[in-house]
């Protein structure tokens, strides 16, 4: 067996599978061939979240006509044997196998070879079987890194070795890779000065088994437990659950491995100390093409974004709970909910703040709740008794400078860029639940959300390509959209053109798959298609500065159908005072109507006139 280790194991596994099939960019010998990808369990979410989609994507690149058969044995070795036999029957020529039982898998390798089928041992070795290749991380090194991180933290926090020791939770006794991780953990712990109070091999890596064992150790050792070295995030999560059930606070230092979403959430909440990211989905060829410095910068940015997404999600859950306890019906949208709805993964979309819609009458209570959490309003005078009712903010903006967090509250009055005032009572009738970190959060239904996203893009002149990508991903993640209702809801808001503009941009820039009847309706709107041609030009030509005051007015006028309706919409946005107008000059209530005169002057000063702006590039 050739032992290969790679930080790009999925790419390598796929490349080996394609190689066995004789696939290449110039060879058609693998056309229509079948490859099987057999995973061991669902206790760790990584197989469904990362390994499966990563392998399928890599195989598509290497062999577009190949078929990938995926099976998960759910910790049942007998079931995996049946799946192994099944994929051979279905014509698999290569089987990528992550065995439930490494020893028992030897007979599977022999069976495959008897029938001319190649086997790639993936992640876990098959010591007694001669697999054609073995692809994995350095599991022993991972185990040592886990132990070293715990020891370093205990020493940094001056934990006295004489006062106790650590628990060691290993992986499944039937998993040879778990044995390697266990060996590495001992390398890090045995001469560290910290005693191993007790050690456990977790059957099938099941978190519940780890939790049950940890509960007994808590009863046995109590405060002597200084930390827990866990072989993966699932077993670490089981230990944390045991401490919480026992009322231990704070939870001792607990390590992890695999960087699953649940573990990252525990790290953000302070319950888990760390985890190790094994980036199985990294594509080797892509990594080789990016300069090392730039690749490190991208990785750092991705990690920072993931942490920020998790922090903001936890914050949203807390805020929604507090609002609910005070009888406030709040409707969050965009942010983490859109990431989950459109992209299927909280960390695949960048967002900087939380947007929550509620009724204007609930703002005083909401204001008190948000400030009780440490946030401070950007314009504190707006909700005071002396604040002018003539000044309606674009949103109620709150910031927690210490944590770098921002929350924006919107009401039917602040959603000024809606062509007509939205009926929140009506929208609330069609809310749908989205699961966020195990919590159900209600947001706008899909047929309402799509027009709302297009109104938001139009509000800011579609300045970000990511907003256009959001439209495309949202459409693809909702294949059963009722398009008749989408257009109807947009028309109720007089936002039909904004919707068609957003759809035209998504189709033009990111090839959003619009149904033929929808695309025909979009293409029939010549203004929408014209704007969809202009916006990309602004994105691609960096010499063209931001829109001036006249161009902004013209854009807004065109976004509402009907000559007079378009003018009314643009004029309203030009003259209706917002928070910046009040911040510029605080007028007493009797003089508040003067804001309608001062605002156009402020906009002209802020954005300039066409005479000061270079001509639009051709």
DSSP per residue over 80-121, as a string? HHHHHHHHHHTTEEEEEE--SSTTTHHHHHHHHHHTT-EEEE
* 351, two tokens: 């967002």
Answer whether residue 161 shows pLDDT above 70: yes
Answer whether residue 513 shows pLDDT above 80: yes
The count of other CB atoms within 10 Å of the CB of residue 424 is 18
Mean pLDDT value across residues 415-420: 94
Question: How many degrees, rounded to 5, is the angle at CA 273 between CA 48 and CA 299?
Answer: 60
Start-end of H helices in 463-561: 465-477, 483-492, 496-510, 516-523, 526-540, 549-558
Mean pLDDT value across residues 346-370: 93
pLDDT at res. 240: 96
How are beta strands 92-97 and 118-122 bridged, if at all? parallel
* 506, two tokens: 């998504």
In the DSSP assignment, the letter for residue 383 is T
Peptide bond into 247 cis (omega under 30): no
pLDDT at res. 335: 94
547 near 618, Cβ under 8 Å?
no
Phi, psi at 108, each rounded to 5° = -70, -40
Phi, psi at 445, each rounded to 5° = -65, 160
Mean pLDDT value across residues 493-518: 92
Highest-scoring range by mean pLDDT, 15-29, 338-352, 535-549: 338-352
Q: How confident is the model at residue 613 (pLDDT cuts 50, 70, 90)?
A: very low
Answer whether residue 197 shows pLDDT above 50: yes
What is the Cα–Cα distance from 404 to 422, expressed in whole angstroms? 31
Highest-scoring range by mean pLDDT, 167-171, 174-178, 274-278: 167-171
Terminal alpha carbon distance of the chain: 62
How does the average pLDDT of the chain come out, rounded?
84
Secondary element (H or E) of residue 393: none
pLDDT at res. 588: 62
- What pTM, to 2 d.p., does this model score? 0.57
Q: In the Cβ-directed half-sphere of 575, how many Cα atoms lie within 13 Å?
A: 11
β-sheet bridge partners, residue 426: none
pLDDT at res. 202: 95
Q: How confident is the model at residue 574 (pLDDT cuts 50, 70, 90)?
A: confident
Sign of the alpha-carbon dihedral angle for 447, 450, 451, 452: positive
pLDDT at res. 52: 87
Q: Tell me the percentage of the chain whose pLDDT exceeds 70.
A: 82
Q: How confident is the model at residue 497 (pLDDT cuts 50, 70, 90)?
A: very high
Domains delineated in the chain: 2-136 (3.40.50.2300), 139-269 (3.40.50.2300), 302-444 (3.30.460.40)
pLDDT at res. 522: 95
pLDDT at res. 3: 34
Under 8 Å CB-to-CB from 352, ≥6 apart: which residues?
406
Mean pLDDT value across residues 597-614: 60
Mean pLDDT value across residues 462-472: 91
Choice among 50-64, 364-378, 448-462 with the minimum mean pLDDT: 50-64
pLDDT at res. 475: 94
The count of other CB atoms within 10 Å of the CB of residue 391 is 22
Mean pLDDT value across residues 120-128: 87
pLDDT at res. 420: 95
Q: How confident is the model at residue 12 (pLDDT cuts 50, 70, 90)?
A: low
Q: How confident is the model at residue 609 (pLDDT cuts 50, 70, 90)?
A: low
Higher-pLDDT residue of 250, 63: 250
The count of other CB atoms within 10 Å of the CB of residue 557 is 18
What is the Cα–Cα distance from 427 to 425, expressed in whole angstroms? 6
Higher-pLDDT residue of 590, 115: 115
């Amino acid at each position: 067996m050739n032992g290969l280790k790679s930080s790009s194991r999925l790419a390598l596994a796929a490349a080996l599978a394609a190689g066995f099939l004789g696939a290449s960019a110039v060879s058609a010998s693998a056309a229509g061939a079948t490859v099987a990808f057999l995973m061991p369990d669902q206790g760790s979410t990584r197989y469904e979240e990362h390994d499966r989609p990563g392998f399928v994507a890599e195989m598509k690149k290497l062999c577009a006509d190949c078929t990938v058969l995926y099976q998960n044995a759910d910790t049942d070795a007998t079931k995996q044997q049946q799946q192994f036999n099944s994929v051979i029957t279905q014509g698999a020529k290569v089987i990528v196998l992550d065995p439930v039982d490494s020893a028992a898998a030897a007979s599977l390798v022999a069976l495959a070879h008897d029938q001319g089928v190649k086997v790639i041992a993936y992640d876990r070795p098959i010591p007694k079987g001669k697999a054609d290749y073995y692809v994995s991380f350095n599991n022993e090194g991972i185990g040592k890194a886990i132990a070293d991180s715990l020891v370093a933290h205990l020493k940094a926090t001056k934990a006295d070795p004489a006062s106790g020791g650590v628990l060691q939770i290993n992986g499944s006794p039937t998993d040879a890779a778990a044995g390697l991780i266990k060996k590495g953990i001992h390398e890090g712990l045995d001469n560290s000065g910290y005693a191993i109070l007790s050690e456990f091999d977790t059957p099938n890596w099941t978190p519940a088994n780890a939790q049950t064992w940890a509960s007994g150790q808590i009863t046995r050792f109590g405060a002597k437990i200084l930390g827990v070295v866990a072989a993966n995030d699932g077993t670490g999560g089981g230990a944390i659950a045991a401490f919480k059930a026992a009322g231990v606070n704070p939870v001792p230092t607990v390590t992890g491995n695999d960087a699953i979403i649940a573990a990252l959430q525990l790290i953000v909440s302070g319950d888990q100390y760390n985890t190790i990211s094994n980036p199985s989905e990294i594509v080797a060829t892509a990594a080789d093409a990016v300069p090392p410095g730039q690749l490190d910068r991208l990785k750092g940015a991705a990690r920072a974004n993931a942490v920020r997404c998790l922090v903001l999600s936890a914050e949203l859950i807390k805020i929604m709970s507090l609002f609910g306890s005070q009888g406030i019906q709040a409707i969050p949208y965009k942010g983490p909910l859109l990431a989950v709805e459109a992209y299927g993964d909280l960390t695949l979309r960048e967002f900087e703040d939380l947007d929550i819609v509620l009724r204007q009458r609930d703002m005083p209570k909401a204001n008190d709740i948000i400030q009780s959490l440490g946030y401070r309003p950007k314009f504190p005078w707006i909700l005071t008794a002396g604040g002018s009712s003539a000044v309606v903010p674009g949103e109620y903006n709150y910031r927690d400078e210490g944590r770098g967090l921002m929350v924006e509250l919107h009401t039917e009055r602040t959603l000024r860029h809606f062509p007509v005032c939205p009926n929140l009572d009506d929208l609330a009738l069609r809310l749908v639940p989205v699961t966020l970190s195990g919590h159900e959060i209600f947001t706008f239904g899909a047929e309402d959300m799509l027009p709302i996203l297009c109104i938001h893009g139009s509000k800011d002149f579609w300045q970000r390509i990511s907003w256009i990508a959001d439209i495309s991903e949202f459409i693809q993640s909702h294949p059963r959209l009722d398009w008749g209702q989408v257009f109807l809801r947009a028309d109720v808001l007089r936002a039909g053109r904004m919707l068609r503009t957003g759809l035209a941009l998504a189709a033009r820039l990111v090839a959003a798959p619009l149904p033929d009847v929808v695309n025909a309706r979009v293409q029939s709107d010549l203004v929408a298609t014209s704007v969809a041609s202009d916006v990309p030009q602004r994105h691609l030509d960096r010499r063209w500065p931001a829109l001036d005051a006249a161009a902004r007015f013209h854009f807004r006028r065109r976004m509402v159908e009907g000559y007079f309706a378009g003018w009314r919409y643009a004029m309203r946005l030009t003259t209706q005072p917002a928070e910046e107008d009040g911040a510029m000059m605080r007028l007493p209530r009797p003089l508040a109507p003067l804001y309608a005169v001062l605002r156009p002057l402020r906009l002209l000063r802020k954005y300039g006139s066409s005479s000061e702006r270079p001509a639009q590039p051709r």
